[in-house]
Structure 1
Amino acid sequence: FITHDLSLGYYISEKAVILYRGCVVEMGATEKIYYNPLHPYTEMLMASAPRLDKKWEEVEVELKAKHLELTGGCVYYERCPVADKDGGCARNRPVLIEVEHDHSVACSRCRKE
């Protein structure tokens, strides 16, 4: 099942896969991803969903470069708030790493709790 509706996805699926530009950036148990998003893109998605218990805040995204066709780096590099300044994220595409049972993320710089 593919959806852009985060609430619907939460209520009807046990597993979730988060894609950015056709690449998997995070996957695992839906509840783990929704309550503990690790990839910066997943965090941004979850923050964009309207909630009654949180005030809406505007988020400004700084592009690091014009739209580049990165062949070896992270697909989220241009918009990523935690990408390294030396350009390693632009050169090396991260692989999915299981950070806990049934929760994997493709980011070497994400926060892991």
Structure 2
Amino acid sequence: MHSDDMRIGDLARRTEVSTRLLRYYEKQGLLHARRDSNGYRVYGESAVKRVVMIRELLESGFTTELIRSILRCKENPHLPDEEQEGATPETVRALRLQVSNIERRIDSLTRTRDAVRGYLRAVEAVVE
């Protein structure tokens, strides 16, 4: 093991994701580990950012299949589009739909934030 390598428990603590979920991500092809001599999973430092990205995409409504396509494209940006695994018209449609959904949620959250700020100003004026 190298100095910046970590085992699954370390990765779980650093990302606040259970070891069970990390194993699930690996099974889904979203996360990759190598095995050390005793068979333990070993992850590099880059796994922390990858797990955070996976969590954010899942929380944004992306499927594991779509995330896998995104990660493959991110890992191999130099490949021509026709060689990108998962780069299909269906993937493009799914990504466009996700962008649209995210934009709707951002608009909704912005309106909610503005309403709460207005309420807060009104309450603060009464309290002070």
If the length of structure 1 is used for normalisation, what is the TM-score?
0.24
More strand by share: 1
More helix by share: 2
Larger Rg: 2
If the length of structure 2 is used for normalisation, what is the TM-score?
0.22
